[in-house]
């Protein structure tokens, strides 16, 4: 099972464990995300894209800015996963980011 499958499965289980009242309240205050993918997937893809682009850049302010933004997004991703009770998913995502970059480098 891939990382995105694990994330989706964890979110489904989390939703199923909520009470009907909690589900209704969350639906009323839901934040819409651009695109069809979950926030975690969007953040993951953006981190990978920024880090890969930064690897191709010569040392410059642009490269530093890309790496800073990627780091900020990666921290945000880890916080989202940790706060939603998915610490193992956070570890696995961090490992997958490292592996994706190692393949390119």
22-47 burial code (b ≥16 CB/10 A, e <16): eeeeeeeeeeeeeeeeebbbbbbebb
Q: What is the pLDDT of residues 38-73, one digit of tens each?
A: 888 888 888 999 888 888 888 888 888 888 999 988
Tokens 């970059």 found at = 101
Rounded CA-CA distance 9/102 in Å is 27
User: Domain locations in the chain?
Assistant: 3-104
Rounded CA-CA distance 41/25 in Å is 24
Which residues, at least 6 apart from 41, have a Cβ–Cβ distance to it below 8 Å?
Answer: 4, 7
- Structure-token pair, residue 39: 């926030």
Residues in the chain: 105
Q: What percent of the chain has pLDDT over 90?
A: 1
Please state the pTM of the whole predicted model: 0.61
Give the pLDDT of residue 32.
47
């Amino acid at each position: 099972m891939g990382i995105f499958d694990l994330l989706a499965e964890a979110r489904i289980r989390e939703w199923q464990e909520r009470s009907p009242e909690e589900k209704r309240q969350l639906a009323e205050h839901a934040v819409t995300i651009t695109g069809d993918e979950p926030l975690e997937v969007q953040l993951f893809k953006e981190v990978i894209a920024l880090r890969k682009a930064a690897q191709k850049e010569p040392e410059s302010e642009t490269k530093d800015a890309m790496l800073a933004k990627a780091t900020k997004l990666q921290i945000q991703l880890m916080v989202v996963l940790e706060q939603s009770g998915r610490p193992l998913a956070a570890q696995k995502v961090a490992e997958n980011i490292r592996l994706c970059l190692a393949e390119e480098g």
